[in-house]
């Protein structure tokens, strides 16, 4: 009898734990000290793995930063972009704008270490948020206190991922897209400075350099240079750096490129050339790297606070590729 009661008690405890690990919306307030008691070494673990990976392949840093953007812009920062597809559900990884995403294995490795140190505690969404912050810092950019406490979605939204901002978007479309996520034009302009590092595929800028996007705000010599590695037509073409001056340094050269009409994507160049306050902002960032760094860090925190939509079922995943 006592053994039976003990079994029922153990089962009840397991059920309580399972229920506690799943929530709807995750409405608690994010805090930089969220894991201070439950996983005090979380930031050290993330930084150590990121440092090792970036030392071996510096290009992984902008890739991780891009992952964070693509996650937060589809139903909030909930690690939905990390989920693999199953027989029953599609994956955001299969959406066209996400076809060139990489760095998933880095997040998986960080999560594996954390599961060993602090089982079922740190969300994949928080791992990605911290890794993106460290990616920026390791490329010479600013550091900032990242609020934590996000939870992981149990579902992906491939349709939402298909509607991420396009490299051909004009200024009005960009402002609208960012505003829908609670980000204003200044946030948008600062966050776009992430394109001071990393590379883009030829098909994303081909229309700009050949004029088929209707974008004429381009330096002819820049267009000619880019055409050397990005042929017209349906040919594959190569990659090009967003910022040709310092492609792997997180600085304000991106804005200098915009003023020189050497933005790689049409959506980059859309930030400059129409006059008014928007041009003033780009010019300020081009002159004042510290101001840009400060605004970028502030905007990253703001973007990182985008919550999943109401009714989203959340949990702390044990494996970032799949739901529990």
Residue 153: enclosing H or E segment and its boundaries? strand 152-153
CA atoms within 13 A on the CB side of 221: 2
* 177 annotated to bind ligand: no
CB 243 within 8 A of CB 262: no
* 219 annotated to bind ligand: no
* 212 annotated to bind ligand: no
203 is catalytic: no
Bridge pairing between strands 313-315 and 152-153:
antiparallel
* 74 annotated to bind ligand: yes
Tell me which of 28, 70, 116, 203 is the catalytic residue: 70
* 251 annotated to bind ligand: yes
- Tokens (6 digits) for 210: 């050949």
What is the Cα–Cα distance from 205 to 228, expressed in whole angstroms? 13
* 22 annotated to bind ligand: no
* 84 annotated to bind ligand: no
CB 322 within 8 A of CB 89: no
* 27 annotated to bind ligand: no
| Alpha helices (runs of H) in the chain, residue ranges in sequence order | 2-20, 42-56, 60-72, 104-117, 124-138, 158-162, 171-179, 185-192, 202-210, 220-227, 253-259, 266-269, 276-287, 289-304
What is the Cα–Cα distance from 226 to 242, expressed in whole angstroms? 11
In order, the DSSP letters of 43-91 are HHHHHHHHHHHHHH-TTHHHHHHHHHHHHHTTTSSSSGGGPPP-SS---
* 165 annotated to bind ligand: yes
What is the Cα–Cα distance from 166 to 97, expressed in whole angstroms? 8
* 121 annotated to bind ligand: no
* 116 annotated to bind ligand: no
- Tokens (6 digits) for 21: 């690990």
* 279 annotated to bind ligand: no
CB 42 within 8 A of CB 118: yes
In order, the DSSP letters of 276-306 are HHHHHHHHHHHH-HHHHHHHHHHHHHHHHTP
Catalytic residues: 70
Residues placed in the known binding site? 71, 74, 76, 78, 80, 92, 165, 195-196, 243, 246, 251
Residues placed in the known binding site for heme b? 195
């Amino acid at each position: 009898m006592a053994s039976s009661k003990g079994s029922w008690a153990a089962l009840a405890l397991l059920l309580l734990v399972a229920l506690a690990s799943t929530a709807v919306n995750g409405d608690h307030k994010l805090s930089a000290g969220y894991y201070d008691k439950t996983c005090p070494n979380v930031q050290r673990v993330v930084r150590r793995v990121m440092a090792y990976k970036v030392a071996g392949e510096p290009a992984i840093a902008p890739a991780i930063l891009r992952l964070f953007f693509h996650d937060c812009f589809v139903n909030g920062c909930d690690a939905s972009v990390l989920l693999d597809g199953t027989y029953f559900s599609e994956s955001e990884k299969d959406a066209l704008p996400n076809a060139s995403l990489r760095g998933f294995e880095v997040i998986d490795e960080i999560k594996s270490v954390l599961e060993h140190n602090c089982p079922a505690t740190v969300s994949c969404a928080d791992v990605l948020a911290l890794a993106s912050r460290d990616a920026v810092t390791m490329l010479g950019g600013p550091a900032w206190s990242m609020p934590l406490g996000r939870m992981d979605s149990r579902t992906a939204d491939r349709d939402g991922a298909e509607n991420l901002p396009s490299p051909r978007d004009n200024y009005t479309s960009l402002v609208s897209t960012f505003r829908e996520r609670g980000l204003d034009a200044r946030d948008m302009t600062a966050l776009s400075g992430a394109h001071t590092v990393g590379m883009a595929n030829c098909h994303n800028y081909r229309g700009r350099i050949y004029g088929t996007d209707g974008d004429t705000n381009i330096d002819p010599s820049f267009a000619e240079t880019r055409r050397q590695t990005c042929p017209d037509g349906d040919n594959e073409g190569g990659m090009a750096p967003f910022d040709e001056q310092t492609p792997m340094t997180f600085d304000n050269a991106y804005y200098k490129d915009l003023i020189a009409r050497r933005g790689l994507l049409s959506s980059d160049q859309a930030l400059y050339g129409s006059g008014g306050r928007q041009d003033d902002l780009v010019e300020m960032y081009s002159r004042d790297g510290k101001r840009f760094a400060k605004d970028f860090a502030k905007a990253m925190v703001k973007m990182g606070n985008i919550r999943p939509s109401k009714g989203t079922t959340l949990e702390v995943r044990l494996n970032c590729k799949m739901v529990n």
